[in-house]
Amino acid sequence: MSAEPLTRPAAGPDGPAGPDVSQTAARPSRIGQLPPFYSPFNEYLVHPRAAEVAERAVAWTDRFGIYPDAAERAWGLATHSADFSCRIIPGGDVEPLVLFAQWNYWANAVDDWQDSADTPVSTAAITDHSVRLARALEAPGSAMLPPGPLTTALDDLVARTRAALTPFQLRRFTEGARDWLLGAGWQTANSERGVMPSLADFTSACALANGTRFSLTWSDAAHGIHLPPDTLYSAPVQVLTDAAGFVVSADNDLFSYDKDDDQEPWEQNLVNVVAAEYGCTPAEAVPYAVALRDRVQAFMVRLREQVARTADEPLRRYLDTLGYYVSGSIEWQSRAPRYASPRNRNPWPVEGSRIPVTYRDTPSDPDPGPPPLPVFAWWWHQLTN
């Protein structure tokens, strides 16, 4: 199989023409308008009870007071966490979906604390908080977290989660939370040292921080999917899960780029990592980042078809959820004011704001071989033809 390198970003004074909706005259976007997305899974689905899920999830955030004031509440709700939940899980039991949406509002509140440019959080603080949070999931009532609204809300989430999930699902969910926390700690450590990770390191680690297994556990719970451990953690299924996580992470790096472009040092995302690797501007790095993302997306399609040929009914349903995860994430991010009217450009989120999204039928890089980065070699080895 071909393993030719991706095309190096072309040097030039200007990036792609055309602003996206988050651009203003005072702070133009470094990357311009988003390119078309290659997404063969763009089903445009959303759960039929999405309005109910959103209403119940927001009422829960208010009941526990997880936002300290009106501004933080507005920006917290601008994540549209319920919409995310209902797009990546467009069917199934509504009760796990409500709990998942509440987890997402809570996790975004913690994530914003970790990423706050106004009050930088140290690696030591994140590591300490991560250990305490992980143990709170595994040992309810351990009292390792300081008192406050976020801790009280977490205690409620943990108690209900332990009642809602099977022991195996709970184990997987806890692993997903650890992924997210470990990824956040790694990125913070890089920032403290003034290090932009290499492309090889970033592509190996970036899927941790987006919490793929954190999310997909709830998809399984809502859809009633119960895969045995030997199936879920088999090499091809593990690679498919990681590939979906990589694509979703790459897409988030594009949608969230303007939201984080005021950070110093620069945010660790795929675009900035490529720019640092090749000594080009972020706008020049975008085609390379998209080509890498598209190559992984095309690989995911091939491996998913291969696995599906011998899959039983539960595994086929799981493979479907990976498609929902990719397509739903794109549609959610295009509608979320968190990205479409970001905080570093707007005093308040602009409800109804959108980032225009277009799609393409083929990958921007048609090479079927693995990109020349270590993490992908093992992935491509799972293909049998």
CATH numbers and ranges of domains, the chain = 37-380 (1.10.600.10)
pTM score of the predicted model: 0.91
Average pLDDT score over the chain: 89
For residue 265, cis peptide bond before it (omega within 30 degrees of 0): yes
pLDDT at 51 exceeding the cut of 80? yes
The pLDDT tens digits for 23-38 are 454 678 999 999 999 9
**Segment of 3-7, 16-20, 260-264 carrying the highest mean pLDDT:** 260-264
Could you give the angle at which helices 270-278 and 235-255 cross, rounded to 10 degrees? 80
pLDDT at 112 (0 to 100): 67
User: Per-residue pLDDT tens for 180-239?
Assistant: 888 888 988 998 999 999 999 999 888 777 789 999 999 999 999 999 999 999 999 999
C-alpha 148/C-alpha 66 separation (Å) is: 9
Q: Which among 263, 342, 286, 330 is positioned nearest to 24, based on CA atoms?
A: 342
| 8-47 core/surface letters (b: 16 or more CB in 10 A; e: else) | ebeeeeebeeeebbbbeeeeebbbbbbbebbbbbbbebbb
Taking CA 289 as the corner, what is the angle to CA 201 and CA 353, rounded to the nearest 5 degrees? 115
pLDDT given at position 10: 40
Whole-number pLDDT of residue 160: 95
What's residue 272's pLDDT? 97
Report how far residue 260's alpha carbon sits from residue 111's, in angstroms, rounded to the nearest whole number: 13
The helix (run of H) or strand (run of E) holding residue 64 is helix 50-64
Instruction: Report residue 327 CA to chain centroid gap.
Output: 12
Tokens describing residue 134: 């992980």
Confidence band of 113 (pLDDT split at 50, 70, 90): low
Burial 88-120 (b: 16+ CB within 10 A, else e): bbbbbebebbbbbbbbbbbbbbbbbebbeeeee
